[in-house]
Copies of this chain bind each other. A is one copy, B any other.
Amino acid sequence: MSFNTFGRIFTFTTWGESHGPALGATVDGCPPGVALDEAFIQQFLDRRRPGTSKFTTQRQEPDQVRILSGTFEGRTTGTPIQLMIENTDQRSKDYGEIAQAFRPGHADIAYHLKYGIRDYRGGGRSSARETAARVAAGGVAQAVLRDLVPDLRITGYMCQMGNLHLDPANFDASQIGQNPFFLPDASAVPAWEDYLNAIRKDQNSVGAAIEVLIQNCPPGLGAPVYAKLDTDLAAAMMSINAVKGVEIGEGMAAAALTGTENADEIRMTPDGPEFLSNHAGGILGGISTGQDIVVRFSVKPTSSILTPRRTINQRGEEIELITKGRHDPCVGIRAVPIAEAMAACVILDHLLLDRAQTGGVRGRIG
């Protein structure tokens, strides 16, 4: 039992507050002998880093990760890997006025009710800064997966922002890294920019939906009944700040389907079974089938906005609150690399879990 740990065999425990001296992740259960250095992890952090476009918070954090333990001469040793990111740009004074107030839609009031004390600076522990530590941990998972399943590919992208939806017909994975939205459609970028600019100028924020596609995942991952692969993916995504819904394959739309529509028929090929459709999103009975795994989740709009809202403070007084500071107009953007990191950790964890129980041996067909 741990409050701040994710995973079963490959685990990470994040620690740190938005405006403390540092934050990080303690990674345990990593296999030994895997090539790993700070530069490898850094590339994932750089994708998530704030301040890289006008659409993310202007807080300037280099987010340089340091490996404090668990590697030797460029390889993992099987001992805990401590990943530390120092906070350098904590302008605490920005947040002074909300020390006693509860932002509507924010964790402020919940933390106060639960703990009776909270580090209000920048949201403290509930800040999205915590996710930098996840991304660092995800980097370790990616290094191990590169060794164990070289052709595995985990690809996150935005598929919705407010009223704008990704047109699947235009899907082009190569475009994802070429725009500030992790959007796999170059043609839509100008419209998305205009839309978010308008939101921002309106002192508002907006929600988003993100999809993660996991390709070439080995079959057999997932440990039913309560450590199912989809259960763990759902938990992974729901644990990300501001996430309100998670879907696998058809997701909520499955409620409207009939059995004949939903059945992913199977045929045989020289390479093994092939599914004719993928309503299931790559997981049956909580176990991966070898099909593409498709996970989708929604992110609510940033609660910290410049438009005044009615709320109360700790003394129980009713007030109107504007949240100044440097906030993302669409926090869903940065959720993309975070979700990839979580997916990498879940897949690796289940790979190790599966080789514990089955030795990784698969049932034969044909």
Contacts and interface: CB of A to CB of B under 8 A. Distances in A.
A82 interface: yes
Interface in A208-250: 208-209, 219-228, 230-232, 234-235, 238-239, 241, 244-250
A130 interface: yes
Nearest to A365: B316
A219 B114 CA distance: 7
Contacts of A108: 284-285
Interface residues of A, number: 161
A97 to B, nearest CB: 17
Given A15-B26, A80-B14, A353-B356, A298 B252 contact: yes
Interface stretch (A41-49, A65-73, A167-175, A177-185): A65-73
A253 interface: yes
Contacts of A268: 312, 316-318
Task: Pick the most buried of A21, A161, A262, A362: most chain B CB atoms within 10 A of its CB.
Answer: A262
Interface in A120-171: 124-126, 130, 160-163
Contact of A32 (B104, B219, B227, B358): B358
Given A1-B1, A300-B262, A357-B31, A287 B16 contact: no
A307 B262 CA distance: 12
A61 interface: no
A266 to B, nearest CB: 5
Given A13-B28, A17-B79, A359-B31, A305 B115 contact: no
Contact of A226 (B105, B239, B317): B239
A268 to B, nearest CB: 5
A4 interface: yes
A266 B312 contact: yes
Contacts of A314: 365
Given A258-B162, A263-B104, A116 B365 contact: no
Task: Pick the most buried of A256, A285, A361: most chain B CB atoms within 10 A of its CB.
Answer: A285
B257 A206 contact: yes
B238 A117 contact: no
A224 B125 contact: yes
A259 B116 contact: no
B300 A69 contact: no
Contacts of A96: none
A54 interface: no
A3 to B, nearest CB: 4
Contacts of A117: 32-33, 72, 75-78, 363
Interface string A1-13: 1111110110101
